[in-house]
Structure formats: structure tokens, C-alpha cells
Amino acid sequence: MSAKRRPQGDGTIRKRVDGRWEGRIIIGHKSNGMPIYKSVFGKTQKATLAELHKLIDQYQGVDLSEECRMTLGEWLDKWLDEYMIFTIRENTLARYRNMVDNQVKPYIGNKRLTSLTTVDIQKLYTKLKNEGRIREHPIHGRQLSDSMVRGVHMMLHQALEMAVNERLIVKNPTKGTTIPKKNYAEKQILCDSQLEIFKEAIKKEPYWSDLFYIEIMTGLRKGELCGLKWSDIDFISGTMCIRRSVSKGKDGIVIGETKTDAGVRKIILPPSVIELLQRKKQEATSEWIFPHYSNPSEPMHPEVAYRKLKTILKNAGLPLIRFHDLRHTFATHALQGGVDAKTLSGILGHTNASFTLDTYTHVTSDMQKNASDIVGKMMQKFIRKDN
């Protein structure tokens, strides 16, 4: 028969043999009903009593489970292995594990969950920002980027929110911390002349030319591009459905969902892309539009396409932009060409148009200036007429 539970917040105070005073309350119960205690210590009875009252207020109405004695590192491993493994993409899971192993455990991984404070988390972020990089960077040294610190914060917030739900801690210590603001790096794109050079350069690469041409004409994410199947193309309506994404997994290629729910979409293709795909379909031997060169039953690996892009850019004397910058190139030229943000947002698979506007603010600012100039000239004509 399990032990009878003692009431929560039942505080006691006593003088220890070492001369210190100890205040103790019950914060939860073990599976057999035995209480779990938390203590505060002080040099005087009065000081200890004051701390005990704070503790009682903090744990009022709380009944933590036995696992609350886990360390942060132990909980994060459990959270990833038991809670997140089936809910996030494999590459996201791998990224979280790297954060836990490299940015969290070395600093506060051994700290008990119930002892973790907002101050501890804030100190972690400051430490990571100043010296959280594993390998020293030639320019940034050991400093971790703002986006990486934000990533650690978002991962920790999610994990500790689950700890609250599972009655392991009273409140989430990531709440109330200060993290770096979102700093969107300046987009690298190919200008008109560079884009023409790139088009000519890919013509010299018969195996790769179709892939890169479709990329600059649609702005797909590289995983989405490599994940295209012939069944995704409707030649009659001239549309393409984006349904999946290919990424790098622990044991090779992983075929999964798109980055967001909005990533699943249907786009209307330019006539030149439809014509290209019709020609390519006549020679197809795989269900994949861009199959793996040595194993046609699998899709092209995104990292292989990335490396080939770097070679093409280098040989053409073009800036060594990322694959994702081809997506930025498409989006920038589309906006400058008059495509509205809402339509572009749907093509790119963004969650909403405001994200598109925020991402390409460098373009929209120029567009606003142009619009202002047009309105200004128009109003001057009216003013002259009135005079």
C-alpha cells in the first residue's frame, strides 16, 4: 500500500547540526506516494523563513513528478528520443541533437531541472554568443551567430515547455530571457548581367542545365527541386505540385515533407519550363525528374547539386553564392518585374505574404521609392493643370 500523501506547500524549518537553518517544502510525490522535498538554507532563522515563504509561493498548488530530479541534459535526451522523434523532420532532429550536445550540455547540462533559473539560461545565451562556436572561424572567431543563439533558445523553450506540461518544473525558465533580434543577412543575388552569364554557363553542363534552369525560373528550395516526380507535373494545365522535400539524413537521403504546411502547393509554370520538361520526359527512365546519377531509383542528393553549383559559378567567374541564393534571385527579379507579394508568397511556399515582404525588404523599399516617384510626377501634372 502506497504511503499517505502529505499536503503540497507544507513548509518546515529546522536548525542543522552545522549551524545553518534549513527550510523545506514538499514540491511533488514519487510514484509510491512518498514526498519530494526542496530546501532553502540560511545563516539565521529569520532569513531562512523569508526564503521559505518565497519557495512556498513559487510551488503553490504544484505537484511535480519523480522525474523532476533529472538534469537538463537527461531531460533533453528524453525529450528528443520520446517526444520529438516522430513529430519533426530527421534533419531538424539532427540539428536539435547537435545543439544539445554542443551548445547546452557542456555548459548547463548537469544542472537539475528544478534548479534551473532564468538567470542560468540568460548566462548560457551570453556565453554562446561570445564563445559558443565549436571550431574557430577565421572572421568571427568563437562567436556564435545571432540566428544560432535564437535557434538554441527556440529549442530550449519548446523542450522546457514540455517539462512544465509533464510536471517536471513549475515554470519555463526561458521566459523572460533576452535573445538577439532577427538579423536578416543581406541577400546575395545574381543581377541581370550575372544571370545571363549563369544561363550561358549551365548550357555547357548538359546533365545539370535543366535542374538549374528550373530553379531560377521557379525559386524552389533545393530539397523540393530534388524531390520532384513526374507525377507532380500536369502538362495539360501547365502546373507543378510541390509535395515533398529531399534532405540529408544520418544514413543517406531522406524523403520527407516540405519545410512548412504552406510548402505543399501548386504553381503555374512558365511556358519555357513546360517545354523543357516535355522534352526531358521523353527520355525519362525514373519516376524522379532529377534522379541520382548512379542510382536512378533515388532522387538527386541536394548536397551534390550544391557542390555542382559552386563549380559552375567558379568557372564562370560569378560570385560563389549559396543554392538558396538562386531562390532569392528568382524572388527579387519577380518582385522587380511586378509580381505582387501575395502571389510570390504562394509560389515560394511562404506561410504568409508579410514574411515575403520582410525577407525581401531591400526590393520592396526600392519599389516604394519608384511608386513614390510615379505618384509625385502624376501629382505635379495635376498641379500644373490647376494652375
Domain residue ranges in the chain: 12-63, 69-165, 192-366
C-alpha cell, 284: 525519362
Question: Which residue type, as a one-letter code, is found at position 220?
Answer: L
Q: How high is the pLDDT of residue 384?
A: 53
The CATH number corresponding to 192-366 among 2.60.40.740, 3.90.380.10, 1.10.443.10, 3.40.50.720 equals 1.10.443.10
Q: How high is the pLDDT of residue 385?
A: 52
Q: Does domain 69-165 have CATH number 3.40.50.620?
A: no
Q: What is the pLDDT of residues 140-191, one digit of tens each?
A: 788 888 889 999 999 999 999 999 988 888 889 999 999 988 776 667 889 8
Given phi > 0 = left and psi -120 to 50 = alpha, else beta, which region is 19? left
> In whole angstroms, what is the distance from residue 20 CA to residue 17 CA?
7
3-class secondary structure for 278-297?
A: HHHHCCCCCCECCECCCCCC
Low-confidence ranges of the chain (pLDDT < 70): 1-10, 61-63, 65-66, 184-186, 250, 259-262, 357-358, 360-387
Q: How high is the pLDDT of residue 264?
A: 85
What is the three-class DSSP state of 182? coil
DSSP tag of 185: P
* Angle CA 165–170–174, to nearest 5: 85
What's the pTM?
Answer: 0.66
